[in-house]
Structure 1
C-alpha cells in the first residue's frame, strides 16, 4: 500500500499513522522524523536542512522534496509507505506525483481525517495545558488551523478529483477511528 494521511493539527494523524503502518506492514514516514534522522546521521541533506533550520527558516519545498524522495528510495519503502506531513502544498503534490510516475508507482489512497475545527481547537488547547505548551494559545492554534485549511484545501480537491481521497470521521476513541480507517481502506482494496 502507498498511502498518505492528511488532517488538521490535532486530528490524530501521528497517532493513527503508526497503527496504519503496522497493520499494512509499511513504514510510516513523517517528514519531521526524516529531517531529524538526516540531521542526526550527518547526511549531506541533513547538513543542508540543519543550516536552514538553524537560521530559523522554513525548509524550502525543493529540499523537502529531495529528502522525501531519498527516503522513499530506501529498501523498506519498496513495497509501500504511509506519508505523514507530506505533501503540504500543490508543488509537493506535483513532486510526489512526478517521483511516483517516474518509478512506475502510484498512490493507493489518501486518508483524510475529518474533525470539526472548533473541536480541534479545544483539543489542542487542552493538550497545550496538559503538556505545558505556552506557545499553543488560542490565537496561535486558530492561525495554524487557518494556514492548514488554506494550504490543504487544494490538496483535498486534487486527490478527490483523482479518486484517491478516503474521508474518515476522526472524532471518537483512537481505536474507533483506527477501525474506520481500516474499514475504509480495506473496502477500496
Structure 2
C-alpha cells in the first residue's frame, strides 16, 4: 500500500500518517523528519539544509528526490509506505511517478487533510510549545503556508485528475482519533 498525505502545515499529516502506518505496519516517510535527522549529521548538506529550513523555504527538488528515491528503495518499503511532505512540487510528483513506474508500483490513495486556518494556527502554536520546533515560528509558518498555497496546493488538481477515485478529502477539523478512524475505515473498505 502506497499512500500520500497532503495538507497545509499543521493539518496533522504527520500525526495521521504515523497512526495509519502503525495500523497497517508500513513505514511512515516524513520528509520533514528525514531532513531534521540530516541536520544532526553536521556536514555540508546539513549546513545548507539548516539555512533553508530556518527560513521556512522548501528544499530543492533534486535533494528531496534523491532522499526519497533512496529511502523507498529500502527493504522495509517493499510492502508499501506512507509519504508525508512529499511530493510538494510538480517536479517532485513527476519524479515520484517515474520512480514508482520503474518499480511497477503505483500510488493507492492520496489523502488530503482539509482543515480550517484557525485550527491550523492553534495546532502549530501548540506544537511549538510542546516540541520546540524551530521551523514553527510565526514568520516561518506564514512562509510555509504561503508556499503550500502557491506550490503544493496546485498538485491537488494534478492528483485529482490522475487518481480521481483514489483521491480522498478528509475533514481535518475533527479530533485526531476520529480522523484516523475515518482514514482506516476507507482503506480497509477498499481492501488495500
Report if TM-score (shorter chain) is over 0.5: yes
Q: How many residues matched? A: 183
Question: Are 1:68 and 2:68 matched, yes or no?
Answer: yes
Q: Which residue of 1 aligns with 2:109?
A: 109
Shifted more, 75-84 versus 144-153: the winner is: 144-153
Shifted more, 17-26 versus 30-39: the winner is: 30-39
After superposition, residues 82-161 of structure 1 pair within 5 angstroms as 82-128=82-128, 136-137=137-138, 140-161=140-161
Q: Which residue of 2 aligns with 1:49?
A: 45
> Separation in 2 of the partners of 1:64 and 1:121?
27
> Separation in 2 of the partners of 1:101 and 1:48?
32
Q: TM-score, normalised by structure 2?
A: 0.83
Unaligned segments of structure 1, at least 5 residues: none
Whether the 8 Å contact between 1:109 and 1:166 is mirrored in structure 2 is: yes
Q: TM-score, normalised by structure 1?
A: 0.84
Q: From the superposition, tell whether residues 38 and 145 of structure 1 become closer, same or farther in structure 2 (CA, over 3 Å).
A: closer
Unaligned segments of structure 2, at least 5 residues: 53-57
RMSD after superposition? 2.5
Shift of 1:47: 5.0
> Separation in 1 of the partners of 2:6 and 2:35?
19
Whether the 8 Å contact between 2:35 and 2:49 is mirrored in structure 1 is: no
Shift of 1:122: 3.7
SS in 2 for 1:166: strand
Q: Which residue of 1 aligns with 2:179?
A: 177
Question: Are 1:165 and 2:170 matched, yes or no?
Answer: no
